[in-house]
Every structure is written in C-alpha cells, then in structure tokens.
Amino acid sequence: MHGLMNRAVQCFLRDAYGEEVWMGVAQAAGVEPEGFEALLTYPDEVTEAVLAAASARLGKPRDALLEDVGIYLVGLEPLRRLLRFGGVSYTDFLDTLEELPGRAMLAVPDLGLPTLDVRAHGHGRLTLLCRPGFPGMGHVFAGVLRALADDYGALALIDHAGEDDDGETVEIELLEASFSEGRRFDLARPRVAGPL
C-alpha cells in the first residue's frame, strides 16, 4: 500500500481520536510511532495490521473505519480541490468519477487507486464498481461520495453493496442535486495581495 494511503489512516486516527489513540494503534500494529513516510510503499499486511488495531481499539468495524477515512479525506483542502475539479455539480462529479484515478496518477504515479466504473440506471440511480485493489477501497469511496454530496449540497443515499470477483460495488441514489447550499468552492485559488 502506498505510503500516502497509510499516512491518511494515521492522520485520520490522530486528528479524529487524538495522538494517544494513534500511539496505541501503532504499538499494537508494530509500526514506529512516527508512522508512515508518504513517498514509500508498505506491504499490505502492515496496512491490515493498522486497520485491525484501530478497529479493536475504537470498537468500530473495519468497513465503518474505512468509510470514516473517506469522509476525512474530503475535508483535506488539497484533495477536496482535486475531487471538485471533476465538475461544478455533484452530477458533473459523478459523470467524471471514472477519470479520478487518472487525475490522481498525474500527481502520484504509483498511488494505485482501483479502476472505477460508473453505471447509470436512470432516475438518479448509479452504481460505482471499484475494480479489484486493496480490500475495502469501496468503503473509502462510499465515504468520499457521501462527504462530497454534502460538499456540493446534494441529497444522495450512498451504500456499499458488497463485493465479488469483479470488485466492490457502491450504490448511489441521487435524490436531489441541489438540495442545499454547498460549501463555497472556487476553482481559482484566492489571490494574495503582494508587491506585484
């Protein structure tokens, strides 16, 4: 697993539950307290050990923990900007979701996101198929989709619908694209007053 993914789990645990929880999880998983280096790659077993230790420490199922990580990621402004680049509305974002792994590879070539396949079924119903990759990435994407619906101001039901040999399936039901006012977002970064 890429270090950025492991680092995201580490930062989520530290930011959401505190340094003491992260230290306990790291110790139980056999990871150095400093955690993960973002540019390195780690065996999947290390990531699984961290997730198992966090799940046990927090009394939270692994799948729910991964969804929470997905929600947390959308709160990180650089990643939010990358995701929001997919469109001015949640519908636009869903229409370009399959392009996300390619956009991510421009920034981090060996990140290893799963292939995403979005299928529309009419009346606002879609399915997202996360092609095989690290087990549980579908839960991370369910969290990302849920958080982005709120970010865009859309009303959507998101549900991880299981996995099979093809990958993990996330069901999306878009009830209302403009349910509420979303969080402010400008594609251009704000200008800073300076000598120029």
- Residue pLDDT, tens place only, 116-146: 999 999 999 999 999 877 889 999 999 999 9
* Mean pLDDT calculated for residue range 149-167: 93
Residue for token digits 């390195």?
40
* Mean pLDDT calculated for residue range 20-46: 94
pLDDT band at 78 (very low <50, low <70, confident <90, very high): confident
What is the Cβ-side half-sphere exposure of residue 167, based on CA atoms within 13 angstroms? 20
C-alpha to C-alpha distances, 150 to 71, 153, 156, 165, 167, nearest whole angstrom: 10, 5, 9, 31, 26
Residue 177 has pLDDT above 80, yes or no: no
Give the Cα separation of 98 and 114 in Å (integer).
10
Predicted confidence at residue 101, as pLDDT, reads: 87
CATH assignment, 74-176: 3.90.1520.10
Give the Cα separation of 159 and 162 in Å (integer).
9
